[in-house]
Every structure is written in structure tokens, then in C-alpha cells.
């Protein structure tokens, strides 16, 4: 790594070479004179500069679900703005190639960023409501009632 100090392109403050973000405004740091002859960063490079290294460790963990591609990309953008890297995956059973943007998506983040991602999504009201478990007694009663109705109908049909 270069021993040259880094500067903030927004406020111009100097920082040590080991820092990645400005302490004053949070903007990613650059080398002095960076914008003068340098090529503009690609979209992938711009996204990579926003990622905070402490959120990149560990295996992938599902933190959210989305109803379709656009909603999943919005959640991914929320996480990226806070420095949490993420990736999208089609939910099981929604892998029909004819409808590429349709179907549920899982939002995955590295394990070290999972807690931060959940906090970000809770603040943004972007987490889906957890499914409420159905109590076993009413469910069993309903199934038995349905079975009794079907058995009664079958008995009546055989009597006619």
C-alpha cells in the first residue's frame, strides 16, 4: 500500500493511508490528485468502495426476503449505503427462467454483517413480517372436522 496520505474528495481533509472513510463526512478517501488524470470508476468499483471491511467475514446468511427483483435490489441498496455487502438469490421454488424479474428473492449478507443488516432493515421497515405459527389444537380440530364432512358425504353417496 502507498505511504502517501489519502484525502477526502468532498471536504479535502487528509487521512492516514490505513483509513478508508473520512472522519468528518464519511466519504470514501482517494489518493491526492486522483480525479485529475484517473479514469472514472466503474459501477462495480464504486459499489466496492462503499463496503466496510468489518462486514465481509464469514459465510452467507439470509437476512431478508423480497417479493420480486426490484424490491430485492432496493433492500440491497439500503444495505450498501450503510457499508454492508449483500447478494441476491432466487428463493427455492421460484427459479422459472421465463419470468426473470418475478418471484421471491433472498437477500444474503456475510455473517459478520448480519446483525447490522437486520438493524438497518428494521429501521427502514424493510423486514418482512415473520409468519405466525398456527396453534396445533385448532389446526387439528379443523382437519378432523373436514375429514368428518368428507366421510359423511362419502357415506351419503354410497347409500344413494
Identify the residue with better confidence: 76 or 10: 76
Dist CA 97 CA 141 (whole Å): 41
Identify the residue with better confidence: 101 or 70: 70
Residue 132 in this model has a pLDDT that exceeds 60: no
pLDDT band for position 127 (50/70/90)? low
Dist CA 79 CA 127 (whole Å): 12
pLDDT band for position 58 (50/70/90)? very high
Cell numbers standing for residue 20: 478508508
Bridge-partner residues for 60, per DSSP? 110
Reported CATH class of domain 53-123: alpha beta
* Percent of the chain scoring above 70 in pLDDT: 84
Residues 6 or more apart whose Cβ sits within 8 Å of residue 32: 4, 5, 6, 7
pLDDT band for position 1 (50/70/90)? very low
Q: Quick one: average pLDDT of 74-87? A: 93
Q: What is the pTM of this model?
A: 0.56
Amino acid at each position: 500500500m502507498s505511504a502517501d496520505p489519502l484525502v477526502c474528495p468532498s471536504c479535502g481533509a487528509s487521512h492516514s493511508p490505513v483509513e478508508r472513510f473520512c472522519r468528518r463526512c464519511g466519504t470514501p478517501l482517494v489518493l491526492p490528485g486522483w480525479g485529475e488524470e484517473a479514469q472514472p470508476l466503474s459501477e462495480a468499483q464504486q459499489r466496492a468502495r462503499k463496503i466496510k471491511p468489518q462486514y465481509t467475514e464469514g459465510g452467507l446468511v439470509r437476512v431478508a426476503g423480497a417479493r420480486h427483483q426490484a424490491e430485492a435490489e432496493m433492500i440491497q441498496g439500503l444495505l450498501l449505503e450503510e457499508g454492508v455487502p449483500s447478494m441476491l438469490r432466487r428463493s427455492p421454488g421460484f427459479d422459472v427462467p421465463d419470468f426473470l424479474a418475478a418471484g421471491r428473492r433472498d437477500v444474503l449478507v456475510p455473517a459478520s454483517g448480519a446483525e447490522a443488516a437486520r438493524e438497518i432493515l428494521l429501521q427502514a421497515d424493510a423486514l418482512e413480517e415473520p409468519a405466525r405459527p398456527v396453534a396445533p389444537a385448532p389446526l387439528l380440530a379443523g382437519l378432523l372436522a373436514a375429514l368428518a364432512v368428507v366421510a359423511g358425504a362419502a357415506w351419503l353417496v354410497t347409500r344413494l
